[in-house]
Structure 1
Amino acid sequence: MGSMEDDAALPFMCGVEEPARLQYDWGSGVPLGTYIVQQMADRARVGATDVPESLYGRIDPDALEDLFRPLVDGTPRANGEVTFTFAGHYVTVSSDGTIEIESELGRLKRSGGNVLLTGDVPADVFDELSAQFLGEPEYGRTHLFALYGRDTDTARARLERATADTDHANILTYEAAVRSATEVQPQNQQNRPSVTPVVGSLDEFETAIVDDIFELQYRQKGFEPGQLRFCFDSLQFLSEEKSASSVEEFVRNVTKTVEDVSGLGQYLFPGAYDSAPVRAVEPLFDGTIELKVGARGPMQRWHLHDTDYTTTWFPL
């Protein structure tokens, strides 16, 4: 293990790409709780000493086993299941011995949600992580960027980095009303990705984002979970120019829309994780990725809000 400030160990995380499904043998002699932790550690590729918390802190393993263990004569218990959270995961145990383990990160990727990206790091670190969140090109993602105070080249570079299909990429840019009509003409680079300037108030920018999301959903005849990849950049500029209440209302409405279509949204906020502006908006998101640059290069750690879990630092 490295130091706490530069810990490159693998995070305790499994069931990311798809939920892990296990079958517990009641006759094995291995306690159910022990079996769950061992299987999670194996799949997360960490040692037993690297399991970050005790299962007893989340549920009583003995009571769990008593609840589902077959009767003395071997008769299975009546159908039933229980779900609990453990170290950033959702664990579901059924009376027939089946166990499903899914990380909160994996559920966000598959079902959609909204994630805050923050840290006091160079822009290229944000670019790298942001491009990762655009998803794999073979899955036919639809991309929508909403840029506040950022240049369209930022979005173009990330799309290129992710080898994304620009035929399904759209960019909205917020333009101050004082800009001239010439300066805010739609940009054309072979028409892909499309770039639409929005001139007006923050409310009008929000409306344009929401309308675009639903229009893209209509064109696709509905989105599969995670098909829409939305990126807002930058919350730093937005927070510097607008009131805290305006920022909160804007973020709540946009994140709700992304959630309504089962999209995955990323919101960039360069700055220290423990700074007041960042902490003010963090509760509005499903999770937060904190970034830093250590001796081994760019590092990340996840703050997963629903399961109340923070990973170790690990490479980007």
Structure 2
Amino acid sequence: MQRELGERGGERTTFAQTLNTLKHTGSNLLLVGRGGGAHGTACRRLRGESRGESRYRVFVTDDARCCYHDHEAEDVTTAIVEYSGPSSSDSGVGDGSEEALCQLVTDVIDTVEEFEDEADGFEPSELRVCVDSLVPLLQQYDTEDVFRFVHVTTARIEQARGMGHYHLPVSRDHDAISLLEPMFDAVVSLRTRENVHEQQWHLRDQGTTTDWIQL
């Protein structure tokens, strides 16, 4: 993830240093934009592809068949925490019970802690967590409850010095993004143009936005 992403001179160096810091101290990224293929490509990068490097991966999803989760069935270092998306009988936003979302939080935290015990403590960026996606949660639960879910899980990932990314495939100006953005180290906009997947990073602490660059 430390490719040149369009920054120049000192800004490019600062950006690369920031990414390196995020990998070592723990980070959480919010992936936005409607380019589904771009989300898949970014997800594969962020969950860690390097062979020979230890990784513990947790996928939080309402669809375990999603192509993002193409892991080997016998892979004991990968776990899927599945939740139920909104059903056709739901009458609207906020129909899900707070207890169900609290249980999802518990399941995610328990899974992380089980892996942490197994690893005898995580190395930096050894834990990778993918939440795919926040849209069903926002459809089914009150916004404040989803905010708490994100707050707790991002804090635990950072505590473990892991790397978490949360898919929110909506436009960059969606109201939900302004609500959730403060809990993330960066918002990564994704798009596909002429069959080319591209990304643009906005680093909150630096207030820095990169150019668009191919994934």
TM-score higher than 0.5? yes
* Corresponding position of 2:168: 269
Q: By percentage of residues, which structure has more helix?
A: 2
* Corresponding position of 2:95: none
* Corresponding position of 2:27: 113
Matched, 1:171 2:85: no
Q: Please, which of 148, 151, 154 is the counterpart of residue 63 of structure 2?
A: 151
SS in 1 for 2:172: coil
Deviations 1:56-111 (A, max 9, x none): xxxxxxxxxxxxxxxxxxxxxxxxxxxxxx63765xxxxxxxxxx95212221233
Identity %: 28
* Corresponding position of 1:129: 42
Deviations 1:18-37 (A, max 9, x none): xxxxxxxxxxxxxxxxxxxx
> d(CA) in 1 for partners of 2:166 and 2:157?
12
SS in 2 for 1:207: helix
> d(CA) in 2 for partners of 1:269 and 1:177?
16
State the one-letter code of the partner of 1:146.
V
Matched, 1:221 2:145: no
> d(CA) in 2 for partners of 1:164 and 1:111?
30
* Corresponding position of 1:17: none
* Corresponding position of 1:94: none
Matched, 1:11 2:6: yes
> d(CA) in 2 for partners of 1:128 and 1:310?
20
- Deviation of 1:130 (Å): 0.4
Deviations 1:128-154 (A, max 9, x none): 11011111232110101111xx31111
| C-alpha contact 1:289 1:300 (8 A) present in aligned 2 | yes
Q: Cα distance 1:307–1:177, how it changes in 2: closer, same or farther (>3 A)?
A: closer
Deviations 1:258-284 (A, max 9, x none): 011111001000110111122221111
Deviations 1:197-216 (A, max 9, x none): xxx61001101111111111
> d(CA) in 2 for partners of 1:294 and 1:175?
32
- Looking at both structures, which has the greater relative contact order when contacts are Cα pairs under 8 Å and sequence separation is at least 6? 2
**TM-score of the pair, normalised by structure 2:** 0.83
* Corresponding position of 1:291: 190
Query: Rg: which structure is higher?
Result: 1
Unmatched runs of 5 consecutive residues or more in structure 2: 88-98
Which region of structure 1 is more displaced relative to structure 2, 289-298 or 210-219? 289-298
Matched, 1:230 2:129: yes
Q: Cα distance 1:294–1:201, how it changes in 2: closer, same or farther (>3 A)?
A: same
State the one-letter code of the partner of 1:262.
R
Q: Cα distance 1:140–1:151, how it changes in 2: closer, same or farther (>3 A)?
A: same
1:1-316 equivalent positions in 2, closer than 5 A: 10-12=5-7, 50-51=8-9, 87=11, 90=14, 103-121=17-35, 123-135=36-48, 136-147=50-61, 150-154=62-66, 157-160=67-70, 166-175=75-84, 201-295=100-194, 297-316=196-215
| C-alpha contact 1:105 1:304 (8 A) present in aligned 2 | no
Deviations 1:107-127 (A, max 9, x none): 212332100111021x22211
Deviations 1:164-212 (A, max 9, x none): 982310001013799xxxxxxxxxxxxxxxxxxxxx6100110111111
> d(CA) in 2 for partners of 1:11 and 1:212?
37
Deviations 1:12-59 (A, max 9, x none): 2xxxxxxxxxxxxxxxxxxxxxxxxxxxxxxxxxxxxx44xxxxxxxx
Q: Cα distance 1:205–1:159, how it changes in 2: closer, same or farther (>3 A)?
A: closer
| C-alpha contact 1:133 1:266 (8 A) present in aligned 2 | yes
Residues matched between the structures, number: 200
